[in-house]
A and B are shown apart, each in its own frame.
Chain A
Amino acid sequence: MRKKRWASWIGWGILTVLSGGYLTYALWGQNEGLFVIGQTSDGHYQIELACNACHTEPFGGGTVLQDACIECHGEELKSAEDSHPKRLFTDPRNADRVAAIDAKRCVTCHQEHRPGMTRAMGVTIADDHCMLCHAGVRTERPSHRDFPTTSCATGGCHNYHDNRALYEDFLIKHLDQAATFPQATLPPRDLGAVLLATGKPPRPPLGRAQQDAPLGLSAHPRLITAWSVTAHARGGINCTDCHGSKAASDKATPWQDKPGANACRECHETESDGFERGKHGMRLKHHLPPMTPESARQPMKPASAQKDLTCNSCHRAHRYDTNWAAVAACTGCHDDRHTRAYRQSPHARLWQREITRQDRPGSGVSCATCHLPREIFRREGQSLVRIQHNQNQNLRPNEKMARGVCLTCHGLGFTLDALADRTLIDKNFNGQPKRQVRSLEMAEERNVASLKSEEKRP
C-alpha cells in the first residue's frame, strides 16, 4: 500500500515535470499558439503567430504593448492629426476625464484577442464611450439632444482619431460644394523626381541590347522584351540591379533568380514601408511567410487562394504595368460585392477612358486611386507625389478617405453621404447616396446662429 502510494507520487511528479517542461518549451517560442487567449482582431490576425510583434519583451506589461502600438500606428496617427493625442490626456486639466477612461493607452479601447467584445475598427469598448467626457454636449447643443449616445462615431459625424474631414470649420469651408467637380484630375506620379529628391540621380535609359543578365543564364527573350518597355528600362535599371551581381565569383551580392522584397526596397523604400504596414505585407515585416488570399477574412477568389502577397503579386515581375496593378491585380483576388461591382461603376468607365487615352491622364478612378492613393509631400521646397502602399491607412472608418481621396473629385456633402451609404458602397458608387449625414447642415445652422449673435452685439 505504502509502495503504491510512493509510486503514485513519483508518477505524479514525473508527469508534472514533463508537462511543465513542454509548456516552458512552448512559451520559449516553439508553440506560442497554445497561449493565444482568443481570436485576434481583423487588423492583426495576419501576424497572430508573431507574438513578439506586439509582446516585444516578456513581463513588459502595458508600456511594452503601448510602444508596440505606436511603433506601427504612430506615424499614421501623426499624419491623421490625431484629434485625441496622448498629450491631451497628460494635461492635468483633463485628469478627471482620464479617471473616467484612461485614454492615454491604446488598449483601453483596443484590446486584442477579445472576439466577443471586438467591434468595427478593433474597438473593444461600448459605442457610448464618448459620453464619459462629452456628456455635456447633449445639453449644451440642442441639435444633439435627440441623438443616441452611441451614434457619435457610428453615424458618419465624428471620428475619434482622424477628424480631418469632419471638424466644424472644415465643414463650413466646404458648404454648398457640387457633388462632382467637372475637370478633376489626380496629381501626376513622378517617381523619377522622388528618387532625385532622395539622392538617387536619374540614369540613362536602357534598351534590349544593354541588358546585363549573366552569360550562361540566358534570360528568356520574352522577359527581356517585357523589361525593355517598362519604367525600369527607361530609368536605367538593369537586370543585375534587382537580381544581384553577374559575376559568379561575387559572393556578397550573388545572382538570384527570384529576388526578394529587399531588392525592391533599394529604390522604393517608402512604398515598401507602406506595403509592410498594410494588411498585404504586414506578415513580411514580422518575418512570417507572405500573406495569401486563402488566409484572408474577406471574400477572395478560390483560384487565387494560394498566391503569395509580395511586391510581385501586383507588380508582375519584369512587366511592371501600373495599370494592371491598379485594377486587375486587385480584382484577381478580391471577390466582395464592392469589387465585383467595380466594372459597372462610373469610376471604372472613367478609368477605361483614361487608359484608352480618350481622356486626360489622372481622370480615371481605379481601385488604387482610392485604396492606394497618391499623396503629395514636400521635400526641400518641392511638392512630390508618392503612392501610399498601406491600403489600410484610409480604409476604416471610411471617412478617413474623404479628405485625401474623395474631395479631389467630389464635394464634401456628397462625399460624406456616399461614404455613409453601405448599399451604395456595395454597388461601388453606381448611383446616388440615399443616406444623408446632417453634419454640414448642422454646422451651417450653428454658423448662421453665431454670426447673428455677433451682429446683435453692440
Chain B
Amino acid sequence: MNLSKANYEYSVNAETLSRRRQKSVQSTLRLAHLFVRRAATPKPRGSDRRAGDSLVHASIAAAILVAVILCTGPMAYSESLIEGLQIDRWWRDGVLMQISGYTLLGLSAIGLSLSVRKRWRRLSRYSFRTWRLAHAVIGALSLIVLIAHSGLHLGVGLNLLLMLNYLGLASAGAVLGYLTATDGTVPSPAWQRWKQRAVSLHLWLFWLFPVLTAFHILTVYWY
C-alpha cells in the first residue's frame, strides 16, 4: 500500500468516525429533546392516561429495582439464629430458595403470555394495553422475588450470567415500557426508532434466558 492510498483511507476512516460520532451526539440530543417535548405535551385523558401512567410507574419501579440489585452490595447474613427477623433464610435455606426460585420461574412464564397474546389472535380477552401493563407489573414483581431469591448476591459463573441476563432483560423492558407509554404523546420517527431498539434488545436478551434458567435449575439438583 502506498503512502497516498494509506493517507486517503485514514482520512476516509477518520471522516466516517467523525460522522458517526456526530450522528450519535445528534441522536442523543434528539432523544433529550423528545423527553422535553413529552413533558410539555398535554397528557391524554381517561383510561388511556391511567394505563399509560401505570406502565410508566411499573417501568420506573423495574428500573429502580434493577439499579438496587446492581448497585447495592449483597445483603448480610444474620448474626443470630435466635434473635432478629432472619430474613436471610430466604437466600440461605434450600427449601425457601426453591419456593422463591419457582415463583420467579412462574412469574416469568406468566409474563411471557404477552408474547402469546401478540401472536395468537384467539386470545383476545382484555385489550392488548392491559396485557402489556400486566407484563410490566409482573416484570417489576419478579425483580422483588429475585431480591428474595438472591439476597442481592449477583453470583458467579453461570449464575452471574443468568443474573446479568435477567437484569438486562428487565432494564430493556423498563426502557421499552417507558417509551411505549409515552409514544402516544410524542409520535415522532426518532421515538419509534428508540422503541424499536429497546424491543430488539428485550427480545435478544430473552434468547439466552430459557437455556440459562434450565441449566441453573438442572445444576441445583445435579450437584
Residues on A lying within 8 angstroms of B by beta carbon are 12, 15-16, 19-20, 23, 27, 33-39, 51, 55, 58-59, 61, 101, 111, 114, 116-117, 125-129, 131-132, 135, 149-150
Residues of A contacting B: mostly:
helix
Known: A36-B156, A128-B80, A129-B81. A51 touches B211 (CB 8 A): no
Establish whether residues B81 and A37, one from each chain, have CB atoms under 8 Å apart when the complex forms.
Answer: no
11 contacts between A and B (CB under 8 A): A20-B211, A23-B158, A27-B219, A37-B156, A37-B157, A55-B222, A101-B81, A116-B76, A116-B77, A126-B78, A150-B79
Nearest CB in chain A: distance from B2 CB, A: 42
Q: Which A-chain residue is minimally distant from B82 (CB atoms)?
A: A131
Set of chain A residues within 8 Å of B38, measured between Cβ atoms:
none
Across the interface, do A15 and B207 meet the contact criterion of CB distance under 8 Å? yes
Contact across chains for B82 and A116 when beta carbons are under 8 A apart: no
List B contacts of A34 (CB < 8 A).
157-158
A35 touches B223 (CB 8 A): yes
Cross-chain contact of A58 among B74, B77, B222 (Cβ < 8 A) = B222
Q: A16 and B222 in contact (CB under 8 A), knowing A35-B158, A37-B157, A117-B77?
A: no
B121 to chain A, nearest CB (A): 16
Counting CB contacts under 8 A, is B49 at the interface?
no
Does A55 lie within 8 Å of B82, measured CB to CB? no
Chain B residues positioned under 8 Å from A150 (CB to CB): 79-80
B157 near A35 with CB under 8 A, answer: yes
Bound Cα distance A34, B218 (Å):
13
B88 nearest CB neighbor, chain A only? A117
The one of B79, B81, B153, B207 that contacts A116, using a Cβ cutoff of 8 Å: B153
Q: Is the CB of A36 within 8 A of B157?
A: yes
Q: How far is the CB of A31 from chain B (nearest CB, A)?
A: 10
Q: CB within 8 Å of A: which of B178-223? A: 207-208, 210-211, 214-215, 218-219, 221-223
- Report the bound CA distance from A127 to B77 in whole Å: 12
Q: How far is the CB of A280 from chain B (nearest CB, A)?
A: 26
Instruction: Decide: B222 and A116 in contact? CB cutoff 8 A.
Output: no
Q: In the complex the two chains form, what is the Cα distance from A359 to B133 in whole Å?
A: 87
- State how many angstroms separate the Cβ of B38 from the closest Cβ of chain A: 29
Docked CA distance A34–B215 (Å) = 11
Q: Which residues of B contact A38 (CB under 8 A)?
A: 155-156
